Amino acid sequence: MQSALILGASSGIAQAFGRLLAERGVTLYLVARDPRKLEAVSADLSARGACLAGTEVLDLNLHAEHAAMLERAWAALGPVDLVLVAHGMLGDQAACEADPALAMELMRTNYAATGVLLLHLATRLEAQGRGQLAVLSSVAGERGRRSNYIYGSSKAGLSALLSGLRARLAPAGVQVVTVLPGPVRTAMLAGRPLPPLTVEPELVARQLLRGLERGAHTLWLPPKWRAIMAVIRALPEAIFMKLKF
């Protein structure tokens, strides 16, 4: 791998992943919404020896800006070996239930805006004829739970979109990877009680990189979530409805 585009570069997992790529000498193009966070991330990666082809401040919810941003990224990097999409938000379930406008914002960020971005990326990677497209979805999308079904439904839609894109792009030599992390100690969980089995972003980043290197199409991170979610998916609805998590 020689070049990578990281979208949502200031997220905790993306930062940790960027450090791994910097250590390997991969040329990076970083996109994030918050200019101060992006500057801090780029400074950190530069200090670790990263080769930065460019950085760009952009709110990825502005879907009309996607095509121009990708044009600039491709021009800076040349062929892009890897795209990591780490755009998303957790939201507050109770607030979303009380104000559906907040739920719409969450769904727009996690599914609609990200989906439009992925369609742009698919066209570029298909024309390029190679590359990897890794996208952060969530184990929460595998079954709607009482405590976070709005967030989970947005990630379920994203995972379904990725499944279709994987089938579309495989003949062109493009690998689409659905990444399904469990709880990760990032800014998303700041100020909230940490759920059981919460892990550090550095662990998720290492496992993500290993999964990409072995050509996986779906990554539960850490891998034990694959078995956990298999059990949760298999629970009869009558039992699942009684669970309070």
Residue at token pair 């805006």: 113
Q: Which amino acid is at 8?
A: G
- Per-residue pLDDT band for 7 (boundaries 50, 70, 90) equals very high
| Rounded-to-5 percentages of helix, strand, coil across the chain | 55, 15, 30
Cα distance between residue 163 and residue 154, in whole Å: 15
Question: Does the pLDDT value for residue 194 go beyond 90?
Answer: no
Distance CA 244, CA 87 (A): 28
User: Max CA-CA distance within the chain?
Assistant: 54
Per DSSP, the three-state class of 55 is: strand
How much is the pLDDT for 100? 97
The residue annotated as part of the active site, out of 29, 111, 149, 151, is 151
Whether the per-residue pLDDT at 192 is higher than 90: the answer is no
Residue 149 annotated in active site: no
- pLDDT(5) > 90: yes
How long, in residues, is the chain? Answer: 245
- Global pTM reads 0.94
- The 8-class DSSP code of residue 141 comes to G
Cite the DSSP H helix spans in the chain: 12-23, 35-47, 66-77, 93-98, 100-107, 114-128, 149-169, 201-213, 224-234, 237-240
Q: How confident is the model over 53-103, as pLDDT tens digits? A: 999 999 999 999 999 999 999 999 999 999 999 999 999 999 999 999 999
CA 238 – CA 216 distance, rounded (Å): 34
- The CA dihedral of 8, 74, 57, 139, to the nearest 10 degrees, is -10
Give tens-digit pLDDT for 93-149: 999 999 999 999 999 999 999 999 999 999 999 999 999 999 999 999 999 999 999
Place of tokens 């990200």: 114
Label residues 138-148 b or e (16+ Cβ within 10 Å = b): bbbbbbebeeb
Contact 131, 175 (CB under 8 A): yes
Q: State how far the alpha carbon of 203 is from the alpha carbons of 24, 135, 182, 189, in Å.
A: 17, 17, 12, 16
Does residue 196 surpass a pLDDT of 90?
no
Residue 188 is predicted with a pLDDT of: 82
Instruction: Please tell me the predicted confidence (pLDDT) of residue 54.
Output: 96
Distance of alpha carbon 184 from alpha carbon 13, whole angstroms: 8
Q: Check residue 45 and give its pLDDT.
A: 95
